[in-house]
Amino acid sequence: MAALTPPPLDNSLGVISIGVVVSAAIYGLTCLQTYNYFQQQAKEAEKDSVLLRASIVVLWIIESLHSACIAHALYFYSVSHYGDYASLQRAVWSIILPTGLTSLVGSIVQACFAWRVYIMSDKNKPLVSLIALGSIIQLVTGWVMTGLGFKYRLFADLGHFKALITTSWTTTAVTDVVITISLCYYFHNRRSGIKRCHLSYFRKSNIDTYQSTDNLIQKLIIYTINGGVLCSVGAIVALLTYLTMPENLVNIAVNFILGKAYSNSLLSSLNARTNLREANERGFSLDFVDSGPAFASQQPSGGVAVTTVFESNAGNQKGIYAQGHKIAHVV
């Protein structure tokens, strides 16, 4: 009797191994970013809301569970069932569950960014509702796919869920793009508003303050684009690999990585607040808090203490303040 010819492993066990290794590396960054976030919070006089800090803890727990699952899946296929090529046709539980975990991570991160859009847009409810709808669809379809995965188990059956998988990844990508464009738009509006202010009240040293403000907002836009593009491109790649290569596991490997990208996009944007403060040589500070005002302030040497308010929960209080008095309105 002829020996069974082993199937090529590049598009099955090979891509799973690559996905696990890359995901593990990004998980290390997630742990570091989480540690840095709480280190910064310990030093802050005004801390982020309890809900946001709890969300970061929940994200880290989910990511840890996700990493444990995919590590188990790799061990299952490469060690426990080494040489059992038939096992590569069936999905072990630990390769199915990460699909739901990734959708949960994505929804939490999108909710955090949706709240940021809500504050930045002066409570634009239709826009935030659109983002929330996309996030909910992504969450529901992700867990429906997880349930179907437990029911059918065979990787070959993935082709039966084409409409569901396409809807999930497309919604994820579109929601990420909407969030990114919205934040960039409102950051740009704040930047334009500052430029339209009457600055005749200030000496040149104070006008330089607004140039610093402009530079910092540019950096915030870059941070936003980097995080949003990374997540949306990841979702698009997962969709394209599924549509073009449904017979292999490349899209599953991409899914291993995507959840970590979501967590790091949120954590990097939160930690960037401190990095931007420290990067400015003249002591200019910029805070973006989830539930309070985002503002920039500086007291130039020998000059007038100036605070530029971009966001405020206390009514229409956008403007430029010198020593507590409003002297210019931000359009």
pLDDT at position 295: 35
Six-digit token pair at 226? 């980097």
* Most confident by average pLDDT, 203-212, 245-254, 311-320: 245-254
- Domain-embedded: residue 297: no
Domain that holds residue 105: 10-281
Look at the chain and report how many structural domains it folds into: 1
Q: Is position 292 within any domain?
A: no
Distance, in Å, from the CA atom of 17 to the CA atom of 184, rounded to the nearest integer, reads 36
Its pTM stands at 0.77
Q: Is residue 302 part of a domain?
A: no
pLDDT bin (cut points 50, 70, 90) of residue 302 is very low
The count of other CB atoms within 10 Å of the CB of residue 149 is 21
Q: Is residue 326 part of a domain?
A: no
Q: Could you read off the pLDDT of 130-141 as tens digits, one per residue?
A: 999 999 999 999
Give the CATH number of the domain where residue 120 resides: 1.20.1070
Long-range Cβ contact pairs of 202-208 (< 8 A, separation 24 or more): 202/303, 202/304, 202/306, 203/303, 205/300, 205/301, 205/302, 205/303, 206/300, 206/303, 206/304, 206/306, 208/282, 208/300
Strand-pairing partners, residue 295, are: 287, 309
Going along the chain, which residue ranges are E strands? Answer: 285-287, 295-298, 306-309, 319-322, 325-329
Inside any domain, residue 328: no
Give residue-wise pLDDT tens across range 160-193.
Answer: 888 999 999 999 999 999 998 888 888 777 665 5
Q: Are 312 and 293 in contact (CB under 8 A)?
A: yes
In a domain, 294, yes or no: no
Percent of the chain with pLDDT over 70: 69
Contact 92, 77 (CB under 8 A): yes
Is residue 32 a part of any domain in this protein? yes
CA distance 240 to 253: 13
pLDDT tens per residue across span 242-280: 888 887 888 899 999 988 999 998 998 888 877 666 655
Would you say residue 72 lies in a domain? Answer: yes
Pairing of strands 306-309, 285-287: unpaired
282 pLDDT higher than 90: no
